[in-house]
Homo-oligomer: A and B are copies of this chain.
Amino acid sequence: MITACVHVAIREYWNINGGGLLVNGKSEKNKGALATIAANHIPELKDFFSHGEVQCFKRGETVFSEGQAITQIIDLVSGCASVSRNGKNGRRQILAFVGARQFIGGASTALYPNSVVALTNVEAIAYPKSVLEQAVAIAPEFAKHFQILLVNMIESRDDHIFAIGQRTANERLASFLLHLRNNQARFSTGGARYQSNRIDLPMSRVDISDYLGLSVETISRAFSWLKRQGVINFSDSTQCEIVDLPRIQEFGGSDDFTHHRGSAQT
């Protein structure tokens, strides 16, 4: 029943000219999370992650499918994907949107419990699971940084749980837009902007609704409401501009985000 690696067959490579992203002369922003850790912090692992297989996925393609045996770790270099769980009765919950320098394939089980789909064209590097295990085994400093990634994932989930459990529809959307704003370096298609007020929305309204636990119509109404309040504006439906940051922060409860609460301040 397992359809592991079927996606490899239908995948196409594009815009990659060298033998791998790390050796074709491009810098930093063409690395995934694991290679970035190694490059920045662990001299002895400098070249450890340069042998990954470059994999590209087109918008809509499946990166990881539910129940697939986990043989490799996929580390995003660019683009955006959704990690979701599909319930029995047709219900779908998007657990996270992942972008540049986020990895996929971590699980405590033999089979991957979620489904990962590319929302835009995605460039990634795939490593055998054993490569990650080895890096952890031989470089304690790498293990430490890898743990920080995992803790960050927990904290994102906690923010998400708070949003879904406690906020109204309008508030959820506001906090989602702020989340995207805080992670533009990962999600924005047009390069690595950071906390610009121009927010790319690489995902559809349905994706947003499945992420926030609401119906599409409610998402659409929430967008309209925010527009009517004068806090956002649209050029087209995939790009919105935050016009009144303080007010959307108030709606979205940005005080309640982990990174806001956890930083030492006077």
Contact = CB atoms under 8 A, between A and B. Distances in A.
A208 to B, nearest CB: 12
Contact of A87 (B93, B111, B253, B262): B253
Interface stretch (A39-47, A72-80, A159-167, A216-224): A159-167
Contacts of A262: 107-113
A258 B146 contact: no
Interface stretch (A148-156, A184-192, A195-203): A148-156
Contacts of A143: 136-137, 140, 143, 147
A165 B113 contact: no
A154 B155 contact: no
A246 interface: no
Nearest to A143: B143
Interface of A: 66-67, 69, 85, 87-89, 91-93, 95, 106-114, 133, 136-138, 140-141, 143-144, 146-148, 150-155, 157-158, 160-162, 164-167, 210, 212-213, 253, 255-256, 258-259, 261-264
